[in-house]
Structures are given as C-alpha cells and as structure tokens.
C-alpha cells in the first residue's frame, strides 16, 4: 500500500499531451480464419500447435461451467471438433512454435479468443502455464505459512522466470508445474473460460475494430510507456470494451451459480478468480514501476513493491517486445474495473465468502489510484 508521501509525489505529476495517430489493433479477430473449424483444428494438429499440458485440468473446469451455464450440451478440450459443444484448444503462440495455418495462434498470445458462430475458443498455452505456475507457488506459500510469494507478485514471478523455473526454485528440483491442480488455478481457469463462454453466448460484433490513439514517432521504451498507459488518453474503443464488460459480467454471474461442495461457505471458483485478477493487477503495477522514467520515483515504488520483481520485469521488457501489448490490451476494461465488477457480483451472492463485503471496492480503489498516478509519472514531459 502506498504511503501518504508517495501518493502526494504521484498526484503532483501531470499527464503529457501529444499529437496522436490511430493505429489498428493487432488482436482484431478475422472470422474467416475459422470458416471451416474442423479443417482449422486438423491443421493445428498437423503442425504440432496443440498443447497437451493442462488439458485434463481445463477439461474438468470446462465441464462444470457448461453444466451450470445451460447454453450448450458439452465442452471438450483439444478433442475432435463438435459443432454442438464448446470447443477449446490450447495452442502454442510463440514464433518458434512454427507457422500458423490461419494466423490466429500468434494473435492469441497472452489471452484467449472466442469465435461465437463456431463455438470455438483458442487459448494461449504459455499464458495458462504462467497462471498455473503462479497459482502453484502461491498455494505452496500459503500451505507453508511462510509468505514467500504474494498474490501481487505471483504472476509476475512466473512470467519473469518461466513456469518451470519459478516452481522448481521454490518447491525443489523435482517439482512439476504441469501436474495436479489446486483451487486457485481451477478458479483462474474458470474465470477465463467463463469469460469466453460469455462471448459465445452473447456474440461478438465482427464490425468492431479496436483502434488505439498513439503518439507519432515514439520508439523503444517511450513507445512502451505510452502503450502501458493508453487507457488515460482514450481511443476509439468504447464499443469493444462494452462487449468485454458484458462477457465479464456473464462470467461473474456464471461463477456465482456454483457453490463449493465443502465447507467453509464459498463459491467453487471465487478464490481462484480473484487470485487471477489481483495477480494480473500486480503484474501491471510491477511493469509500470519498471517503466517509470524518474529513477527516484522508481526507487520509491521499489520499496513499496518487491524490488526483485520490478527489476525482473524491467529485464523482461528489454527481451520481450510483445509483452506490453499483452498486459495492457486496449480492447478490455482496466484491470481495476475488472476486479471491482467481480467483487460486486460475489458480494451480492449469499453463497459467496465475500457476501456483503466492501473489501473488494476498497482494494480496487487503491489499485486504481496507484495505477493512475504511476501513469501520470510515466506520461509527464521530461
């Protein structure tokens, strides 16, 4: 949490203004790419782009969601395409994975893509691996009561170190990030899949294209800084964000239908869903701290955060040109808005552990102020 002094420093910084030019988003969906989904899936298999790790865990979660949604007969993960089912495929999105037969897997990097007409969901296997690793190391920290991993740091650590290294460094050389599951990962996976099921149920407007207002002439780290805080300067993205907000609400309401069968009172997937949203916000804040141009302010933030995570994020930015666009998508609501909307649904659900709680609203407000003030520092004239 920020100290009063830190907040005063951040709140005193102004947002820069600059000429802007509209650029099309790289994640706009091409519906024709899956015009024949059976053939598309066959090509993915032929080229070795289907990822098998985590398939059993995702299959288990998807079946529970579909059974409670009431929109579809069944769900399958990495199986034979079935036009009556929700079809989910874990795909390799890294360039070294090989040529993509339809150009979709690379665009799924760091996210999931839904195609309502085809009842098809494409999920980045690398992104899910990082979430699984984050959930594993945080779950182990809870089990040990040692506080070695925080919710805030878990996903950033998994992204910086890689799933395998993050788990082995904290659980021993024989630890395997792929094996087993826990309540946090199941809930995180459920939130992601339920959101895409929201798109399948509600549809997506193919006419909508996401556009981002971006200053002319920015290169390297300056371009990264702008992209990270484009939410503050707007863009022609309101309708696209409305679709994403509707899918978020669908997902929250679907998770709110599924109580946990064992005491204490809680929803089956709520702790994991909130873990993911908070871990994602932690990654956003760590990245913003890494991008801060003012070293004194950055050092102050490093004392509020985990300094090693902030430095690791700075190193990752230097080696991974696509991570900014992945963590700060222009098409989605802000990370703090997404936390708040999830908490609100759970707080209104009697079966939830958060029923009647105001904690989520307070936490989201704190994160929102932190992100906005850090963006003010990044965007100010130098």
Residue boundaries of the structural domains of the chain: 4-26+125-129+179-379
Lowest mean pLDDT among 2-11, 128-137, 218-227, 306-315: 2-11
Per residue in 99-131, pLDDT (tens digit) is 555 555 777 888 999 999 999 999 999 999 999
Exposure string of 120-137, with b = 16+ CB inside 10 Å and e = fewer, is bbbbbbbbbbbbbbbbbb
Closest by Cα among 376, 139, 333, 355 to 242: 333
Per residue in 330-362, pLDDT (tens digit) is 788 888 889 999 999 999 999 999 999 887 777
Position 147 confidence tier, pLDDT thresholds 50, 70, 90? confident
Beta bridge partners, 50, equal 91
Average pLDDT of the chain is: 82
Whole-number pLDDT of residue 236: 58
Whole-number pLDDT of residue 19: 31
Give the three-state DSSP class for 247.
helix
Q: Is the dihedral of CA 71, 346, 90, 68 positive or negative?
A: negative
More confident residue, 286 or 76: 76
Position 77 confidence tier, pLDDT thresholds 50, 70, 90? very high
Looking at residues 175-181, what average pLDDT do you find?
A: 95
Whole-number pLDDT of residue 106: 72
Strands 120-124 and 112-115: antiparallel
Backbone angle region of 329, left / alpha / beta, with phi > 0 → left and psi within -120 to 50 → alpha: beta
């Amino acid at each position: 949490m920020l100290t009063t002094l830190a907040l005063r420093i951040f709140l005193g910084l102004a947002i820069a203004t600059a000429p802007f030019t509209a650029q099309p988003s790289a994640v706009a969906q091409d519906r024709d790419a899956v015009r024949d989904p059976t053939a598309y899936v066959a090509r993915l298999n032929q080229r070795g782009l289907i990822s098998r790790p985590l398939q059993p865990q995702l299959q288990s979660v998807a079946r529970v969601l579909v059974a409670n949604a009431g929109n579809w007969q069944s769900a399958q993960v990495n199986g034979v395409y079935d036009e009556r089912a929700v079809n989910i495929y874990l795909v390799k999105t890294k360039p070294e994975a090989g040529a993509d037969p339809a150009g979709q897997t690379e665009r799924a990097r760091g996210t999931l893509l839904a195609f309502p007409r085809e009842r098809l969901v494409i999920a980045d296997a690398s992104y899910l691996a990082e979430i699984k690793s984050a959930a594993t190391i945080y779950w182990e920290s809870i089990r040990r009561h040692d506080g070695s991993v925080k919710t805030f740091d878990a996903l950033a650590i998994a992204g910086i170190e890689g799933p395998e290294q993050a788990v082995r460094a904290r659980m021993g050389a024989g630890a395997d990030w792929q094996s087993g599951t826990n309540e946090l990962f199941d809930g995180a996976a459920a939130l992601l899949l339920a959101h895409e099921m929201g798109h399948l149920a509600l549809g997506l407007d193919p006419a909508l294209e996401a556009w981002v207002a971006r200053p002319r002439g920015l290169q390297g780290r300056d371009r990264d800084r702008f992209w990270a805080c484009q939410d503050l300067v707007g863009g022609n993205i309101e309708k696209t964000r409305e679709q994403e907000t509707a899918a978020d609400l669908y997902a929250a309401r679907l998770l709110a239908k599924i109580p946990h069968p064992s005491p204490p009172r809680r929803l089956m997937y709520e702790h994991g869903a909130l873990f993911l949203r908070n871990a994602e916000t932690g990654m956003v804040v760590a990245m913003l701290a890494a991008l801060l141009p003012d070293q004194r302010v950055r050092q102050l933030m490093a004392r509020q955060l985990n300094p090693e995570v902030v430095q690791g994020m700075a190193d990752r930015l230097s080696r991974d040109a696509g991570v900014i666009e992945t963590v700060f998508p222009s098409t989605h609501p802000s990370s703090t808005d997404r936390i708040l909307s999830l908490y609100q649904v759970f707080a209104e659900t009697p079966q939830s552990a958060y029923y009647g709680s105001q904690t989520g609203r307070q936490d989201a407000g704190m994160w929102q102020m932190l992100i906005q003030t850090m963006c003010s520092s990044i965007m100010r004239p130098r």
